[in-house]
Amino acid sequence: MELIQTVFEVFLRTYPGFLEATLTTLKITAVALVLGTVLGLIFALMKISRSKILQTIANLYITIIRGTPLIVQIMFLYFGITSLIVLSGFWAGAIALGIHNGAYIAEIFRGAIQGIDKGQREASSSLGMTRSQSMRRIVFPQALKRSIPPLGNQFIITLKDSSLVYIISVPELFAMANREAAQSFQSLETYLVVGAYYLVLVMIFTYLLKLYENKLNVDK
């Protein structure tokens, strides 16, 4: 009983700062998702292209990014390439998350595109469409619809993974929680509260995703 009360007290004391930090978390996640989706699409198309060079570049990207820890990629962008370019914590974190996501999203798109029945491509070719017309008008719209559940999954992972940018002092939710826990010595309560923030965010996102999926399935 006492725990519930202290958790509530911590919540009340921290929410002005935590809400602001939540906004930063959401901003980083949004940038990472947009960047990740764009990169994912580009590399998926490269991977299924007929050019060996493009295929190799895409494979290299996916292998390296999936094969190294996200936290290493964040540190690399923030501290590793300062001789090349100096990024703020926010941008280093968001771009690292975006590049990281791109590799996974590329595989989601590639799988969905290749999963479309080859009869669809044959039918569009037989009507005189070029490869790119067929991809744009026939194959990709269907693949996109099939990508939505795994993309949603990836988006949730990104939201939670954004907590890793605390390591480069971006004032997002987890960084704020760490600071609060260290100052107040109320670690148990603080981490319970911050966990609840992430849980609620994920639940809201899952709900929105479900609405969107239902909308897509209305008449098909």
Partner 1 sequence: MLKGSNIHKSFGDLEVLKGIDLEVAPSEVVVLVGVSGSGKSTLLRCFNFLERINKGTIEIDGQVIDPKKHKLSEIRAEVGMVFQHFNLFPHMTVLENVIEAPIIVKKMKKADAIVLGKQLLEKVGLSDKADVYPSKLSGGQKQRVAIARSLAMEPKVLLFDEPTSALDPELVGEVLAVMQQLAQEGMTMVVVTHEMKFAKEVADRVIMLDEGRIIESADPATFFENPSHERTKQFIQLVD
- DSSP of 195-206, one letter per residue? HHHHHHHHHHHH
**Residues with Cβ within 8 Å of residue 163, at least 6 apart in sequence:** 25, 172, 173, 174, 198
Beta strands in 2-67 (DSSP E): none
Provide, rounded to whole angstroms, the least separation between the CB of residue 117 and partner 1: 7
The end-to-end CA distance of the chain, in Å, is 51
Provide, rounded to whole angstroms, the least separation between the CB of residue 136 and partner 1: 9
Q: Which residues bind partner 1 (CB under 8 A)?
A: 117, 119-120, 122-130, 133, 137-138, 141-142, 145, 219-220
For the CA atoms of the chain, what is the radius of gyration?
Answer: 21
Residue 103 or 139: the one with the smaller Cβ distance to partner 1 is: 139
Provide, rounded to whole angstroms, the least separation between the CB of residue 133 and partner 1: 5
**Residues with Cβ within 8 Å of residue 105, at least 6 apart in sequence:** 36, 37, 39, 40, 41, 44, 151, 154
Provide, rounded to whole angstroms, the least separation between the CB of residue 121 and partner 1: 9
